[in-house]
């Protein structure tokens, strides 16, 4: 007995344009960032290692976008259901890995500014690589149950569909709650790090040359907080509160 949903997706150029724009902007920007980091820093500092892996995380997101553009431009999915799962996981992993790497960057700057001497032996390239390996291992472990859940739910739709599912057969998973807890926790760490670094710089820096350095340091923290408050947190909350009977651009972006 075939229980798949008899639904034929229609092309949606608006979705294709959104994902295409992200792809066109994200690919060169992240590629240039990686080139600069590798050329100037040669992965000898913990901060450079975290930033390179952040760029890799974003590039993996960009890799997942061409097939999304094709799907929404044509309304057809030419690949297998397994390919749909892999591409979906690449897309979803970006929030988890990027939020962790951004937090690592913030904590690394916190230690460098607030505890420069005591943290010197901790902020090594070796420790940074160990931390990065644990992050990617965590991401892969999370992918196992989530990938199985995606495979199960894909059976309820026909083979020409990807990224769209029957809301009534798509219950909120434990990963949706785990992701929100992860993002809120990491946002809290970033807020605390920003406050501590700001207070420390305010006490120590007085001359104009050092003020410029202070601005550069605080700019990093400001950009990190913007990423959390504009991108990571709204998406994580939206996964839980979105109404299942609505098909909107917001829902599609969350998948």
Q: How does residue 182 score in pLDDT terms, banded at 50, 70 and 90?
A: confident
Q: Do 99 and 186 form a contact (C-beta atoms < 8 A)?
A: yes
Show the domains of the chain with their CATH numbers.
13-254 (1.20.1070.10)
29-33, 90-94, 135-139, 182-186, range with greatest mean pLDDT: 135-139
Q: How does residue 236 score in pLDDT terms, banded at 50, 70 and 90?
A: low
Q: Do 216 and 166 form a contact (C-beta atoms < 8 A)?
A: no
* Of the listed ranges 78-82, 169-173, 223-227, the one predicted with least confidence: 169-173
Q: What is the mean pLDDT of the chain?
A: 78
pLDDT of residue 24 exceeding 70: yes
Question: 């992200």: which residue's tokens?
Answer: 22
> What count of other Cβ atoms lies within 10 Å of the Cβ of residue 170?
15
Q: Tell me the mean pLDDT in the region 25-52.
A: 83
> What count of other Cβ atoms lies within 10 Å of the Cβ of residue 239?
20
pTM summary value: 0.80
pLDDT of residue 175 exceeding 80: no
Interior angle at CA 187, CA 147 and CA 140, nearest 5:
20
25-29, 44-48, 100-104, range with greatest mean pLDDT: 100-104
Q: How does residue 80 score in pLDDT terms, banded at 50, 70 and 90?
A: confident
What is the model's pLDDT at position 5? 46
* Of the listed ranges 156-160, 162-166, 211-215, the one predicted with least confidence: 211-215
Q: What is the DSSP letter of 168?
A: G
Dihedral pair phi/psi, residue 157, rounded to 5°: -125, 160
Question: Alpha-carbon distance 120 to 5, whole Å?
Answer: 58
* Of the listed ranges 128-137, 165-174, 231-240, the one predicted with least confidence: 165-174
- The runs of H, that is alpha helices, within the chain are 13-40, 46-63, 65-74, 81-114, 125-154, 174-204, 208-226, 233-241, 249-254
Q: What is the pLDDT of residues 127-153, one digit of tens each?
A: 999 999 999 999 999 888 888 888 877
Q: Tell me the mean pLDDT in the region 222-238.
A: 73
What is the model's pLDDT at position 129? 94
What is the model's pLDDT at position 191? 92
Q: Do 186 and 100 form a contact (C-beta atoms < 8 A)?
A: yes
pLDDT of residue 3 exceeding 70: no
Q: Do 247 and 202 form a contact (C-beta atoms < 8 A)?
A: no
């Amino acid at each position: 007995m075939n229980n798949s949903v008899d639904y034929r997706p229609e092309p949606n150029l608006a979705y294709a344009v959104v994902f295409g724009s992200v792809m066109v902007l994200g690919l060169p920007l992240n590629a240039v960032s990686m080139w600069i980091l590798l050329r100037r820093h040669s992965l000898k500092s913990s901060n450079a290692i975290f930033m390179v892996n952040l760029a890799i995380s974003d590039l993996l997101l960009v890799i997942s976008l061409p097939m999304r553009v094709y799907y929404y431009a044509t309304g057809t999915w030419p690949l297998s259901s397994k390919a749909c799962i892999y591409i979906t996981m690449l897309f979803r992993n970006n929030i988890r890995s990027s939020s962790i790497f951004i937090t690592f960057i913030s904590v690394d700057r916190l230690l460098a500014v607030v505890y420069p001497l005591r943290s010197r032996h901790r902020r090594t390239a070796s420790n940074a690589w160990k931390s990065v390996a644990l992050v990617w291992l965590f991401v892969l472990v999370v992918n196992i149950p989530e990938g199985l859940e995606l495979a199960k739910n894909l059976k309820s739709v026909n083979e020409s569909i990807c990224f769209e599912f029957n809301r009534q057969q798509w219950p909120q998973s434990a990963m949706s709650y785990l992701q929100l807890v992860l993002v809120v926790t990491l946002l809290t760490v970033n807020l605390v790090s920003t406050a501590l670094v700001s207070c420390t710089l305010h006490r120590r820096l007085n001359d104009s040359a050092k003020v410029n350095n202070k601005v550069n340091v605080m700019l990093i923290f400001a950009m990190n907080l913007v990423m959390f408050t504009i991108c990571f947190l709204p998406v994580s909350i939206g996964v839980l509160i979105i109404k299942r009977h609505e098909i909107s651009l917001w829902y599609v972006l969350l998948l």
